[in-house]
Amino acid sequence: MRIWHSTEVGGSDALAIAQVDPPLPGPGELLVDVRACGINFPDSLIIRDLYQFKPQRPFAPGGEVAGVVSAVGDGVNGFAAGDRVIARTGWGGLAEQVVVAADKCITMPGAMPFDEGAAFLFTYGTSYHALRQRARLAAGETVLVLGAAGGTGVAAIEIAKASGARVVAAASSEEKVAFARECGADDGIVYPSGPLDKSASRALGEAFKAAAPKGFDVVYDPVGGDYAEPALRAMGWRGRYLVVGFTAGIPALPFNLPLLKGCEIVGVFNGGFQANEPEVAAANTRKLIALYGEGKLHPRITRRFAFEDAPEAIDAIATRGALGKLVVMVSA
């Protein structure tokens, strides 16, 4: 089978297609024929050894897949060859076949196509956990979503709207803000690209405050960098600031602000949540599937790549140029 291998630390140019023997499922595992692989920001980090996990090389990036079960390991119940599934792989998904623990797979709804299946678990799982468990989002609250045109940002918009919240989308261009509005955001703010000096930071903070005069109840931040402090300054009393990621770098925040606002700074690590609270995580997934069936969630796939072009997809994510979700179509 074909697989994209990371054989050395580096960007997408350090990836190469290899021909290897198909893997075999062990006890509690499934062998999945991959139809589509979702591309996410961690894929650009893991190949450069900048992610929380550092798998032994050679390995394939690709943390979520959709496909068909081709073999079932000993001790697996509830799955059979021929079942359509979506799975969290962590890595290894950019391959024609992948072995996955059965408890990391779910049966794909009959009406869900493979590309949408491969664009579902990572972003919606992260955003649902963030907004429901970590932020305790309630109907009528106001949410600021940074990086609103990216995969997790769009998922956060849709989940917040399904929860009855008002959503203000913030992104780095008019095009991205317009896209976020199309995805359901009620209002939008364009923030400058690149580092912010004190004047630009102050101006952005004022723009955030104007969009929510009483302050935001929740800030959803997968961006970090210089955008974090202006967003924190726009928090309302007892607000919840969700630390989701750092596509613009890890920020340094003045800790007097949480004191003055009585607000919380809350970490969101979906991988740790899955490992430590598997029953709650499984319930989240069931709820997300139900919301998809009700038409309240729509994976926004803006580009589909051939298997041979997978590095291009990773580059598009790494440079923050992508709208919505990017998917590599591995096989027909």
What is the tens place of the pLDDT at every residue in 42-76?
999 999 999 988 999 999 999 999 999 999 999 99
- Confidence check: pLDDT of 332 > 80: no
What is the tens place of the pLDDT at every residue in 284-326?
999 999 999 999 999 999 999 999 999 999 999 988 778 999 9
pLDDT at residue 320, rounded to an integer: 79
Q: State the residue range of the domain holding 53.
A: 2-120+299-329
Q: Has residue 260 been placed in a domain?
A: yes
pLDDT at residue 290, rounded to an integer: 95
Q: Has residue 102 been placed in a domain?
A: yes
What is the tens place of the pLDDT at every residue in 122-150?
999 999 999 999 999 999 999 999 999 99
Q: How many CA atoms lie within 13 A of 222 on its CB side?
A: 26
Q: Has residue 294 been placed in a domain?
A: no
Whether residues 115 and 129 share a domain: the answer is no
What is the tens place of the pLDDT at every residue in 218-234?
999 999 999 999 999 99
pLDDT at residue 52, rounded to an integer: 85
Q: Two tokens at 207? A: 């723009």
pLDDT at residue 321, rounded to an integer: 78
Q: Has residue 145 been placed in a domain?
A: yes
Whether residues 210 and 242 share a domain: the answer is yes
What is the tens place of the pLDDT at every residue in 182-232?
999 999 999 998 899 999 999 999 999 999 999 999 999 999 999 999 999
**Cα distances (angstroms) measured from residue 173 to each of 79, 148, 230, 250:** 45, 11, 18, 22
Whether residues 127 and 252 share a domain: the answer is yes
Whether residues 128 and 109 share a domain: the answer is no
Whether residues 109 and 152 share a domain: the answer is no
Q: Has residue 287 been placed in a domain?
A: no
At 295, is the secondary structure helix, strand, or coil? coil
Whether residues 160 and 56 share a domain: the answer is no
In eight-state DSSP terms, residue 225 is G
Residue 306: closest CA among 121, 36, 91: 36
Across the chain, which distance is largest between two alpha carbons, in Å?
62
pLDDT at residue 194, rounded to an integer: 82
What is the tens place of the pLDDT at every residue in 69-119?
999 999 999 999 999 999 999 999 999 999 999 999 999 999 999 999 999
Per the CB < 8 A criterion, the answer to whether 157 and 150 are in contact is no
Residue 39, domain CATH: 3.90.180.10
Per the CB < 8 A criterion, the answer to whether 248 and 225 are in contact is yes
Residue type, 138: A
In eight-state DSSP terms, residue 134 is I
Give the chain's domain count.
Answer: 2
Q: Which long-range contacts (CB under 8 A, 24 or more apart) does 320-324 make?
A: 320/147, 320/150, 320/172, 320/247, 322/150, 322/151, 323/149, 323/150, 323/175, 323/176, 323/179, 324/149, 324/150, 324/151, 324/154, 324/179, 324/183, 324/299, 324/300
Whether residues 167 and 55 share a domain: the answer is no
Kindly tell me the sign of the dihedral angle through the C-alpha atoms of 82, 324, 127, 328: positive
What is the tens place of the pLDDT at every residue in 147-170?
999 999 999 999 999 999 999 999
Whether residues 79 and 130 share a domain: the answer is no
Q: How far apart are CA 64 and CA 35, in angstroms?
A: 11
Q: CA Rg, the chain, in Å?
A: 20
Whether residues 167 and 262 share a domain: the answer is yes
Question: What residues have CB less than 8 Å from 73, skipping those under 6 apart?
Answer: 25, 26, 27, 28, 29, 30, 31, 102
pLDDT at residue 229, rounded to an integer: 97
Whether residues 310 and 266 share a domain: the answer is no
Whether residues 160 and 248 share a domain: the answer is yes
Whether residues 22 and 58 share a domain: the answer is yes
Q: What is the pTM of this model?
A: 0.93
What is the tens place of the pLDDT at every residue in 255-265?
999 999 999 99
